[in-house]
Structure 1
């Protein structure tokens, strides 16, 4: 499960930074032979996307030794992820940071995730999840696919958080407790959790959480939700 989810993230972290001439001033550069791949179509959350650089100039993916690299700043902006380039230290930072420069940690793990407007703000921008769907304050989207099939909304979301799996599992358990699910299977633990439920004629949902095998201290949650 994790290998597929993190393939997207690792790809983003390996993308080429654009828009700053200072990148080329370093001493660690190596000349390579690569190709601009004008034939590759890009979609972000199911929508056609064309990467752009300064002054709206279109950017093409680069193919090198069987791997394809995308412009990190343009892609990150499309995914609502902050990217900063520190020319003095020749460093690229992806994601939000605190004033001290350390990654923002969000909840301490002692309170349940906040609900409501979080589905439309901060790190997760879901159009179709219920407005009160519980999400931790520090949730950051890893992948999000939303579409409408036969007039019914479908969502597949994976996000990362510092929130504990115990708190997350309990929050989702409590959220669905009074929704009259005809099928409700729960497996809650400190190291992982899963919740599968169905409300006849309304929706079906599957939620699973586990620790990240990429970023120590992070947890990953995958939500698959769809109208019936």
Structure 2
């Protein structure tokens, strides 16, 4: 059956990926936009509420008369694969964006429907990532010697163990400002030093990620 997306306003342009944009890059331009809670979304005649991987409700964004939707959430609603190719800085929509296998080992689709890609290039070589991690949503940039990366991963490793590993690692790297809340069911680590800043959060996976723990990393450093 052909799927139809109905939106209670004229919507143009491609949606915005759900990664956190707190890094600088040569292709990024700051804008002032508004979260538009007045726009409703219907998918196949049914009311639909877009949510991120943590279950937080997402609102459309209106900018210069154009309304943008979160592409990953809409893709999931339409059962359409969404993937981000970090090397090419390209969002891929449809079956070509998430192949079932890859001979190069650079990307593949896991049983949870996320894209398993290589370890991000812009984090330190010793940055802790569990051996079983399925990495996805990688966005990297580099400017004036400062490297930035935003990525997520799924793992079976316990959240408390991961949180403590990060706490110890960032202390060893010279963290001078630290905020750490680490529990068995989730963690938040916000640390910074003379040449790096990082935010790491972890929580149990939801939806098709149940059975895994999801960790989100925002890293900037030299």
What is the TM-score with the length of structure 1 in the denominator? 0.55
SS, match of residue 125 in structure 1: coil
Aligned to 1:212: 205
Show CA shifts across 1:6-45 (max 9, x none).
Answer: 86488489347xxxxxxxxxxxxxxxxxxxxxxxxx9621
Aligned to 2:174: 180
C-alpha contact 1:5 1:142 (8 A) present in aligned 2: no
SS, match of residue 52 in structure 2: helix
Aligned to 2:119: 125
In 2, the alpha carbon distance for the partners of 1:185 and 1:171 equals 14
Matches within 5 A, 1:75-154: 77=102, 80-82=106-108, 94-95=109-110, 124-154=118-148
Question: Which consecutive aligned stretches of 4+ in structure 1 deviate over 3 angstroms post-superposition?
Answer: 1-16, 72-82
Instruction: Give how far 1:81 is off.
Output: 3.6
Aligned to 2:215: 221
**Aligned positions, number:** 151
C-alpha contact 1:165 1:190 (8 A) present in aligned 2: yes
Q: Point out the structure with the larger strand share.
A: 2
| Unaligned residue ranges in structure 1 (runs of 5+) | 17-41, 51-60, 62-67, 83-93, 97-102, 104-121
In 1, the alpha carbon distance for the partners of 2:99 and 2:128 equals 29
Structure 1 residues 178 and 169: alpha-carbon distance in aligned structure 2, compared to 1, 3 A threshold: same
Q: Point out the structure with the larger helix share.
A: 1
| Unaligned residue ranges in structure 2 (runs of 5+) | 1-17, 20-50, 55-70
